[in-house]
Structure 1
Amino acid sequence: MSKPYAEVIGDPIAHSKSPDIHGFWLKQAGIDADYRHCHVRPEELADYIAKRRTDPDWRGCNVTMPHKQAVMALVDRIDPVAARIGAVNTVVVENGGLAGYNTDAAGFLEPLQVELAKTHYFRMARIIGTGGAARAIITALTDEGVVLVVAGRDPDKARALLDELDPDGEHHVAPLSHFAEATDFAFDDREGCFDLIINATSLGMAGQAPLNFDFSHVPPGSICYDIVTAPLETPFLAEAKARGFRTVDGLSMLIGQAAAAFERFFGLPAPRDADGELRRILTS
């Protein structure tokens, strides 16, 4: 007998942790449904979507690279946040059609919600990277009233990104090398301020070049956030912890964005009371 299912698609896809996350939550919630992975090549994407439209058991899919932009032309409605980001990572069956969402922004913000619920005199984030993840992070933070400094290999690309995503914002750009070199800047009193340092690149990931970052650029009281998931404690986060800064690892964003998708697929909030056990599964 068939039963409801959702899945994650991409090329490649075998490495995805999404089946482990959603499968764990389905079991915890007692929901009789499946979550799978499906290898979909770029030339197969349109046929995949067309076939799933006619499958009564299909509840939707998470979308990974390289399909996050291409899938936008294949759905019936795009959520305004996804439209601003310019990428869809979640497709769901909705009102007889298909709707495209982006849960990366919500997933990124989830571990920061307690801090963002406070009132601050000033909020600033330094973002390393100008790729797809940075688009979601920039969108999320500008909606929270955060002034940004975006650093990339090409500062012109960083400026174009900010002009597109928040044209009225008073943000700044810098070359990647700016944060690799020490600074003698004397930070003012940060009491009542919110400061965030984000690695939104693959630098520091296993098999990739390290993130060359000098901690003289980190204001007192900052939170250091790395979206890399392998290794979970990157050299950037390890040094941040050693220096006494609060840290957020990449699993926090991964689990947060999955939780937002889970509720859209299966109609119930993801059961989050066993997140510690889930983390152990994902890192074993």
Structure 2
Amino acid sequence: MSNTRIPLAAVIGSPVAHSKSPQLHNHWLKVNGLPGFYIPMEVDTEDLETVLRTLPKMGFVGVNITIPHKEKVLEIADLITDRATLIGAANTLIFRQDGKIHADNTDGYGFINNIRQNAPKWEPSSGPAAILGAGGAARAVVASLLDAGVPEILISNRTKVRAEALRADFGKRLTVVDWVQAGNMLDDAVTVVNTTSLGMIGKPPLRVPLDGLRPGAVVNDLVYAPLKTQFLAEAEEMGCHIVDGLGMLLHQAVPAFERWFGVRPEVDSATRAAALR
């Protein structure tokens, strides 16, 4: 009976109603002609382990994990990939046939593939990267930039101690810059990433002066509501190659979908349209 089950997947967080993942995964299921459903699930922290241990018995093949559970799931998972360990968070769980929960983090993968797709001439090794913010997303970005061969990362966060914690974890290729000096990081940077929520709809604006941006630099904002933030609009006016944040969401979903449903989906214009519906 078990092999005739319709595979199910979900995104688990609190809140989760705003998530674009259901539109995205259900689009891929449909275009690939696959059976399956992907749903949003609001789950409180105290119920998380019970829910995760129960879902495989209900036909779930895996789940995405979002705020605030991305760190907590590492305490619950039976197996954790090196990259999830390094980042200190997981966004993707695979429920294995043997009943074990396998935790992975595909955020860094999504970040790099978004840049490579939308700025194909990007040369990570050609100069330093500047990163604004030092939260969970920044950790994934730092790990993947170092892996891609960026020689140096300048990082600035409103609370300096969080940036210093990243330097302690990732080592001497990171340099911490005071938030009031964050604009100065941009002078030599060939890659610039905003990992903060500043500039997002309903959040305060990103007030870092951008006059130091180099024309031709690749500038990425992880915020995708609005799609073109003020930060990206200014960078574009200064001749930078801008990459919006929606692509990271789309690309981080690719390895998860492939593991759960057995087909590697395409990130194309129809995928973007489905996520924006």
Say yes or no: TM over 0.5.
yes
Shift of 1:2: 4.8
Task: Look up the SS of the partner of 1:54 in the other structure.
Answer: helix
Query: What is the rounded CA distance, in whole Å, between the counterparts of 1:19 and 1:152 in structure 2?
Result: 32
Aligned to 1:92: 94
Residue 77 (structure 1) aligned with residue 82 (structure 2): no
Aligned to 2:228: 233
1:182 to 1:49, Cα distance in 2 relative to 1, 3 A: closer
2:10·2:64 contact (CA, 8 Å) conserved in 1?
A: yes
Alignment of 1:252-267 (within 5 A): 252-267=247-262
5+ residue gaps, structure 2, are none
Residue 242 (structure 1) aligned with residue 237 (structure 2): yes
Shift of 1:93: 1.8
Query: What is the rounded CA distance, in whole Å, between the counterparts of 2:184 and 2:134 in structure 1?
Result: 19
Residue 12 (structure 1) aligned with residue 15 (structure 2): yes
Query: What is the rounded CA distance, in whole Å, between the counterparts of 1:156 and 1:38 in structure 2?
Result: 33
1:6·1:35 contact (CA, 8 Å) conserved in 2?
A: yes
Aligned to 2:70: 68
Shift of 1:216: 2.4
Query: What is the rounded CA distance, in whole Å, between the counterparts of 2:184 and 2:115 in structure 1?
Result: 28
Shift of 1:179: 2.7
- Per-residue deviation, residues 6-59 of structure 1 (Å, max 9, x unmatched): 11000111111000000000101110111111111111101101211323x211
Q: Superposition RMSD on alpha carbons, in Å?
A: 2.2
1:121 to 1:108, Cα distance in 2 relative to 1, 3 A: closer
Q: Paired residue for 1:145, among 135, 142, 149? A: 149
1:33 to 1:120, Cα distance in 2 relative to 1, 3 A: closer
Task: Look up the SS of the partner of 1:138 in the other structure.
Answer: helix
Residue 279 (structure 1) aligned with residue 269 (structure 2): no
Residue 28 (structure 1) aligned with residue 31 (structure 2): yes
Query: What is the rounded CA distance, in whole Å, between the counterparts of 1:19 and 1:221 in structure 2?
Result: 35
Residue 175 (structure 1) aligned with residue 178 (structure 2): yes
- Per-residue deviation, residues 87-128 of structure 1 (Å, max 9, x unmatched): 011000235111000010100000233668876763311000
Aligned to 2:138: 134
Shift of 1:257: 0.5
Aligned to 1:190: none
Alignment of 1:114-125 (within 5 A): 122-125=126-129
Amino acid of the structure 2 residue aligned with 1:280: A
Task: Look up the SS of the partner of 2:61 in the other structure.
Answer: strand
Amino acid of the structure 1 residue aligned with 2:114: P
Amino acid of the structure 2 residue aligned with 1:237: L
Residue 53 (structure 1) aligned with residue 53 (structure 2): no
Aligned to 1:191: none
Query: What is the rounded CA distance, in whole Å, between the counterparts of 2:122 and 2:47 in structure 1?
Result: 46
1:119 to 1:65, Cα distance in 2 relative to 1, 3 A: closer
2:20·2:276 contact (CA, 8 Å) conserved in 1?
A: no
What is the number of equivalent residue pairs in this alignment? 271
1:151·1:173 contact (CA, 8 Å) conserved in 2?
A: yes
Query: What is the rounded CA distance, in whole Å, between the counterparts of 1:201 and 1:208 in structure 2?
Result: 10
Query: What is the rounded CA distance, in whole Å, between the counterparts of 1:116 and 1:234 in structure 2?
Result: 21
Task: Look up the SS of the partner of 1:8 in the other structure.
Answer: strand
- Per-residue deviation, residues 44-77 of structure 1 (Å, max 9, x unmatched): 101101211323x211000001111111111110
2:89·2:105 contact (CA, 8 Å) conserved in 1?
A: yes
- Identify the range of structure 1 (210-219 vs 104-113) with the bigger mean alpha-carbon deviation: 210-219
Amino acid of the structure 2 residue aligned with 1:151: S
Aligned to 2:160: 155
Task: Look up the SS of the partner of 1:24 in the other structure.
Answer: helix
Task: Look up the SS of the partner of 1:216 in the other structure.
Answer: coil
Task: Look up the SS of the partner of 1:61 in the other structure.
Answer: strand
5+ residue gaps, structure 1, are 188-193
1:182·1:214 contact (CA, 8 Å) conserved in 2?
A: no
Shift of 1:136: 0.6
Amino acid of the structure 1 residue aligned with 2:103: G
Query: What is the rounded CA distance, in whole Å, between the counterparts of 1:81 and 1:67 in structure 2?
Result: 17
Shift of 1:181: 7.2
